[in-house]
Chain A
Amino acid sequence: MIDIDKIEKLAALKLKEKEKKAILNDLEEIIHYFEILKEVDTEDVEPQIYTKEACLFLRKDKAENGLNKEDLEKNKTLASGNFYRVKHIIGE
């Protein structure tokens, strides 16, 4: 069962009843899709994780500039003290 109210709360969204219904519908459809996949017989099939024989590329340990301060400030992304502020979620 999908608890749409809980998802709404955790995602810090405010949804109208109509939107809730639509999202619930979408989510159920996604889950239903996996139910269909379950029907495939995977007995004796080794899990395949990567489709190509690729080797991991390693990066040199050299610092680069990340997001710039002005952009962050312009977008008012950060709260006081330069922190991101989020709704408290302990115990949820």
Chain B
Amino acid sequence: MKINYISLRPPITRYVIPALAVMMLWSCSKTVDEPTAGISSPSSLDENAGTWKPYLLASASEIPVAEPKQATSEDYKAELKKLKDATDAVTPQQREQINYWGAGAVFRWNEIARELCARYNSPPASTPDGKYPLPDAANPLKDPKFPFANPPYAARAMAYLSVAQYDALVAAWNYKFKYNRKAPSKNDASIKTLLPVSDLPSYPSEDAVVAEVSVVILKAMFPGEVPYLEAKLAEHKHSRISAGLNVDSDIAAGSELGKAVGAKIMARAKTDKMSAANGQAMTAAMIANAKKIGVTEPWVSQEFPPRPPMLPTYGFVKPWNFDSATVVALRPEAPPVIGSPAFQKDMDELLKIAKGQTREQARIASFWSDGVGSYTPPGHWHRKGAQLCHENKYSEVRTARALALLGTTMQDAGICCWDVKYYYYYPRPNQMSSKIKTSVGLPNFPSYTSGHSTFSGAAAEVLAHIFPSSKKEVDDMASEASISRIYGLIHYRFDCEVGLATGHKIGSYAVQRAKTDGAE
């Protein structure tokens, strides 16, 4: 007995205590490692980008940029001297900022915009009298915060951002190669540079153009973030000086161009019918129409208190790659009649998952949930697009082009899908059976077709065209995003399959543009 007792002790000290020590070590580090983006090193200068077709500018030279001072001028020499002093005085913190922005101007501002979308993606809380107050653009930080950056809102914000960056960079490239001012360190070899220097002419600064035009758009989309955006803007521009890559006049010319392009882009935003997208007064007529075309049990909000549906007239917002008549033409055929065998088949699939959702189904549903508090499906795809551009060593202007093609098709997909949703006003499966509960959160708008599927089909179509070697990868991602909504128990299979196919059709319009914009 004694022997038994003694033999117990060594294992405890030998294994348990070290095990505890290991656990403590696991717990000690509280730092989360995020994927880091390396310094951008474009494989091409894209010298001809000044001839690429802009979205909204009449031409690359619509906005004038004055000729810079000659490299031999006293003014420029003074700027070089100032730049040398700045690079000699770089602090460790500035060096960090240089490397951060060195990942790419478009890349970083796209990332900033996604983060803002996530931070503003909060549906208003109901008041004690059962109403949902509307966010107020004039008081953006008051509860509920403005905007509620839901998927249609995020799709539009990211579309405008990408188009603005692209048009501004096409203009910048035009002047860069027109004036051909060499990089400061190529005029004065004694300037220390902290990022790689290419043969890209430095006037106007592409970083200043992107930073300034991005801030114009993002201030309008996220009016509560003006101080944050201005701080980022100043940091970005300054990073180019402390890195020894741009003199003040490069930055100033880029800033002016960015601001002017931003104003042009915002003129469209003010008249694109987004301000009328929350047309709640029209839902009665929409429901009546849905009943007339055979939807016997139209969608009703499953929230308590019932929440008005999300942006019921977003389908009338102006699309990018086609006109509003095409939105109607792209509308898919009606979903199965409620109670029909086709309906029942897909309902049975959901009832089965409701009983025994597998861990893998739950994982896929969660991975693609992109719900409240996230950057939404358009943000998810922008992240993928930006990553692909970075991996493929795209120049700033080519990155902007890819994200503009992606961003515009994302908003087109949102517009088309919202048109379909409110045309058919089809109920969610959760409305048809109380046995169906979700593992991802139930969106507050009609079911048919799936927004995730439509966004993803369009995104995959565009990304597969731009990055043919990634076609399989993005197609697989889109299929998984689509089916995730079945696994998450909020969509019928027909919502997802029709949505995905329609998304691909929507994406093909952006692909058509890509083939003719002069960049391929």
Is B a genuine binding partner of A?
no
A interface residues (Cβ-Cβ under 8 A, vs B):
none
